[in-house]
Structure 1
């Protein structure tokens, strides 16, 4: 299937909003707290906020080292996620704005068509009224001539 060879954002349809999970899935990013940038977030949030920044940072680094995890891998995951989210946002904005533009263009064409038909209707109504007046006048003329001979005096 050729669709499978396209990058994630090209396989996404833009007919509804996507959840973060759907966006990550389309870019083949796992939605997990393990071995991702979110693991760092959990470590940070596990520490009391009233600790000084440096103490919190060194505590998180100690936890990472103790868990035999590479911070560069976790930070790289964060960078990939930011890149994917920004790319998706740009593509989504472009695609949806393009759809909106096309719909507005179509509305303009339809408005022009409506205006044309309204003018046509007015012209046909005027034409119909004129034709009816021509016929009424002719009927009246014939009735007057015929009436001349039907009069009894």
Structure 2
């Protein structure tokens, strides 16, 4: 898979570990920043990731900030993005199966690496189920 990742300083360590694990599995990972623990503004990272995701056709995006809240809100402001803040494996799977989320987000200060990794795996193993969900996703996209 082709995956684009990004974080602010609060999600940097989590992003780095998830990026490493994804690359170890053979996935192509593009990192839009940040690249160290220096303070950055998460809205800009979210927008950069979304632009790359939409322009270059990665399979999905992965964002991290301190809680995952702010960066997912910022990502959802970009037309064509459906970002889901995930807190458990069920929500990660449903983000894909029911909402066809193209970005998942985590809190670097709220979830541990093993839990975040399990959520990434759950999301990646899931497939959009179309059916009754497709019209709803279309409705979401039309709000923008």
Q: Which has the higher helix share?
A: 1
Greater C-alpha radius of gyration: 1
Higher relative contact order (CA 8 A, sep 6+): 2
TM bracket (short chain): under 0.3
